Amino acid sequence: MTVTSIAPARPTTYKVTGARVLRSEWGKFWSLRSSWITLGVAVFLLVLFGTIAAYTYSPGASSAGGPPGPGGGGDSDAVSLALTGATFASLAVGVLGVLLSAGEYSTGMIRSTLSAVPRRLPVLWAKAAVIGPIALVLTTLGALAAFGLGAPGLDGEKISLSLGDDGVLRSLAGAGLYLGLVAVFGVALGVLLRNSAGAIASLVGILLILPGLASLLPDSWYDTLSPYFPSNAGQAVYALHQSSDALSPGAGIAVFAGWVALTLAGAAYRLRRTDV
């Protein structure tokens, strides 16, 4: 009787590619309950505050103080009212970005992630590529919903606008673009600082506290520097009307994208050069 020897099967090897890293980060993102909750909160705040602002609009109360949305001048308009909740939504998507990246350092999962992707940097790019478009699409839909739901509350008012009016769609889409970049900014801060609490505190400080502290500078310095602060530059993207001291929408997105790119570069350097 002839005995046939069977050679042991070779283990299947998989090449690490950008598409596979992206698919992995996509799966991790949607498997986390915090992703669903935080995204829902961001869109909910955007729609809620925008709708309330439209239905409680009072022409006499708003004309003196200017629009709630930054970068505008004069009376409020339907777009600035619809985007009243953009500041709160920016904090929600920014925190989500932080949790997506710094959360792995808190749990120790980052060691497994980087063992699977030894080159490291594709992990950072994949996280940014996952959360940025998701935040952009959902918050753009939220901005459109806030505008649409608030429109009946402004019926008959001088500031009432429709989607077909000049600049309206650009402003609403600009809000989604800004919030998508804020989410990527949160990812970069999380990787750079490697601590959820520290990264969230930095996010809040940069977006909300820094412009207030800058008002302590001499007026000439403040007037020159203020438009280039991250939140002011980013918010200029979705202002329907620009004040004389604000950046244009194109310049605003370029400046804010520059801040995000600079933070991503710092995060990439630390991820590549230091141990986890």
The rounded distance, in Å, linking the Cα atoms of 56 and 38 is 27
Please spell the DSSP secondary structure of 42-80, one letter per residue: HHHHHHHHHHHHHHT--HHHHHTT--SSTT--SS--HHH
Place of tokens 């993207």: 237
Overall size of the chain counted in residues: 276
CB 138 within 8 A of CB 225: no
Q: Which two tokens stand for residue 86?
A: 């953009």
The residues, any chain, with a CB within 8 Å of residue 203's CB and separated by 6 or more, are: 91, 94, 95, 98, 185, 186, 189
Q: Which residues of 139-173 are buried (b: 16+ CB within 10 A; e: fewer)?
A: bbebbbbbbbbbbebbeeeebbbeeeeeebeebbb
- Nearest 10 degrees: CA dihedral of 67, 73, 78, 81? -20
pTM: 0.88
Residue 20 host element (H or E) = helix 18-31
Per mean pLDDT, which range of 80-89, 169-178, 213-222 is the poorest? 213-222
Q: What are phi and psi of 67, to 5 degrees?
A: -75, 150
51-83 per-position pLDDT tens digit: 999 999 887 654 433 444 444 444 588 999 999
212-264 per-position pLDDT tens digit: 888 888 888 888 889 999 999 998 999 988 887 888 999 999 999 999 999 99
6-44 per-position pLDDT tens digit: 555 555 556 878 788 999 999 999 988 889 999 999 999
List the one residue out of 202, 209, 210 whose CA is nearest residue 186: 202
